[in-house]
């Protein structure tokens, strides 16, 4: 195993650190990215292992123990974050709600990512008529107010987890398309692309192995932005009663359900609100950090 043998000190000075070592150093030196990743990691863990972590069944109603306050407001440890207006354990609903938020964020960002990237890369690579059509479609999409269209569609089709995911996925591709188109335009005339074409590589091969890897850092940033965007929109739709339907635990729905008692029991709104804020912040920190550590201009 030649690669793991310690290098001669002189040789290492000449070779400098490997790209992997440099990347690790940049990641570890980026506090925002680390913080975001840890928080996101914890939330992901919580979402995946929700059935093991939740102290109670999030659907178990107990009308006799309604709206018990959280521990820090004088409640007891049976319900660390209190109970909601139907006596369901708040902590358990928060934990299960993480699943809904992350699932919606990830799947909606994936759907819109596939649509937007396909459109953007084709427009940037082929140019001409393809570019004209895609640009037109992007403009059409940008002219539509997302929340309004989502509200209308959900109102017609009825709210459910699947409908919300699909609607958001089909609405949030514009940023992918714009960014991917611009990034493709930047790299399509680079030497390595020309070289790949010169040796006779097919178009799909040029796009997949020459263009995509070089614009992937931008893609990752947009993915995180749109994921956060989708999570917030789901919360907004659920708050308005048009998103995920009860009794599914969703943070937006929890805010909505707590709203009636907002003047007297503000914690019912504050707790899910804070968790939502933390999740979106963590995703944005990760996206921001990834951009910093992968951007070519920072590689020197």
Partner 1 sequence: MKTSWQKCGQGLAGVLLAATAATGAAWADKANDTLRVAFTKELENVDSYFNSSREGVVLQRAVWDGLIYRDPATNEYKGNLATSWEWIDDTTLEFKLREGVTFHNGEAFNADDVVYTVNFVAKAENGVKTQRNVNWMESAEKVDDYTVRIHLKEKFPAAIEFLSGPVSMYPDEYYAEVGPSGMGLEPVGTGPYKVVSVVPGQRFVLERNDSYHDSPKGQPSIANVDIRTIPDVNTQMAELFSGTLDLIWQVPADQAGKLAEMDRFTVKNESTMRVGYLTMDAAGRSGDTPFTDLRVRRAVNHAINREELVEALLKGASRVVSTPCFPSQFGCVEEAATTYEYDPKKARALLAEAGYPDGFTTELHAYRNRDYAEAIMSYLNAVGIKTDFKFLQYSALRDLNMKGEVPLAFLTWGSYSINDASAMVSQFFKHGSLDDARDDQVLADLSVADSSTDPDTRVAHYAKAIERITDQAYWAPMFSYNTNYVFTNEVDYAPTPDEVLRFTTMSWQ
In the complex with partner 1, the residue whose CB is nearer, 144 or 262, is 262
Give the number of other CB atoms < 10 A from CB of residue 5. 7
End-to-end CA separation in angstroms for the chain: 29
Looking at 61, 214, 217, 294, which residue binds partner 1 (CB under 8 A)?
Answer: 61
According to the binding rule CB under 8 A, does residue 86 interact with partner 1? yes
Minimum CB separation of residue 63 from partner 1 in Å reads 4
According to the binding rule CB under 8 A, does residue 51 interact with partner 1? no
Minimum CB separation of residue 53 from partner 1 in Å reads 22
According to the binding rule CB under 8 A, does residue 64 interact with partner 1? yes
In the complex with partner 1, the residue whose CB is nearer, 187 or 261, is 261
Looking at 11, 264, 296, 297, which residue binds partner 1 (CB under 8 A)?
Answer: 264
According to the binding rule CB under 8 A, does residue 245 interact with partner 1? yes
Q: What is the CA radius of gyration of the chain?
A: 24
The C-alpha atoms of residue 36 and residue 288 are separated, in whole angstroms, by 9
According to the binding rule CB under 8 A, does residue 260 interact with partner 1? yes
Give the number of other CB atoms < 10 A from CB of residue 69. 17
Looking at 196, 257, 267, 287, which residue binds partner 1 (CB under 8 A)?
Answer: 257
Taking phi over 0 as left and psi of -120 to 50 as alpha, with beta for the rest, 69 belongs to: beta
According to the binding rule CB under 8 A, does residue 73 interact with partner 1? no
Using the contact rule CB under 8 A, the part of the chain among 2-10, 114-122, 172-180, 261-269 near partner 1 is 261-269
Contact 50, 98 (CB under 8 A): yes
Peptide bond into 247 cis (omega under 30): yes
Minimum CB separation of residue 260 from partner 1 in Å reads 6
According to the binding rule CB under 8 A, does residue 27 interact with partner 1? no
Phi and psi torsions of 89, nearest 5°: -65, 125
Binding mask 130-169 for partner 1 (x = CB under 8 A): ----------------------------x-x---------
DSSP string, 181-233: HHHHHHHTTSHHHHHHHHTT--HHHIIIIIIHHHHHHHHHHHHHHHHHHHHHH
According to the binding rule CB under 8 A, does residue 56 interact with partner 1? no
Contact 167, 150 (CB under 8 A): yes
Contacts with partner 1, residue ranges (CB under 8 A)? 59, 61, 63-64, 66-67, 85-87, 158, 160, 241, 245-247, 257, 259-264
């Amino acid at each position: 195993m030649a690669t793991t043998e310690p290098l001669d000190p002189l040789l290492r000075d000449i070779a400098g650190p490997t790209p992997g070592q440099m990347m690790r150093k940049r990641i570890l030196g980026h506090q925002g990215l680390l913080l975001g990743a840890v928080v996101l990691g914890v939330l992901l863990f919580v979402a995946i292992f929700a059935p093991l972590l939740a102290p109670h069944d999030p659907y178990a109603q107990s009308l006799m123990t309604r709206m018990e306050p959280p521990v820090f407001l004088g409640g007891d440890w049976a319900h660390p974050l209190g109970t909601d207006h139907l006596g369901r354990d708040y902590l358990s609903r928060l934990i299960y709600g993480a699943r809904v938020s992350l699932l919606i964020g990830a799947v909606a960002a994936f759907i819109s990512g596939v649509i937007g990237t396909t459109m953007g890369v084709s427009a940037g690579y082929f140019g001409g008529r393809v570019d004209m059509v895609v640009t037109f479609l992007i403009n059409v999409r940008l002219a539509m107010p997302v929340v309004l269209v989502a509200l209308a569609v959900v109102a017609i089709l009825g709210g459910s987890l699947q409908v919300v995911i699909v609607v958001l996925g089909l609405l949030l591709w514009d940023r992918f398309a714009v960014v991917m188109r611009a990034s493709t335009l930047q790299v399509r005339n680079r030497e390595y692309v020309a070289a790949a074409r010169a040796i006779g590589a097919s178009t799909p091969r040029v796009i997949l192995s020459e263009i995509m890897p070089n614009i992937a850092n931008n893609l990752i940033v947009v993915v995180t932005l749109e994921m956060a965007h989708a999570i917030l929109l789901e919360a907004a739709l659920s708050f308005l009663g048009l998103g995920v339907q009860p009794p599914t635990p969703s943070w937006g729905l929890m805010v909505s359900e707590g709203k009636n008692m907002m003047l007297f029991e503000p914690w019912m709104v504050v707790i899910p609100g804070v968790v939502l804020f933390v999740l979106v912040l963590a995703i944005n920190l990760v996206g921001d950090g990834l951009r910093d550590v992968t951007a070519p201009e920072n590689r020197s």
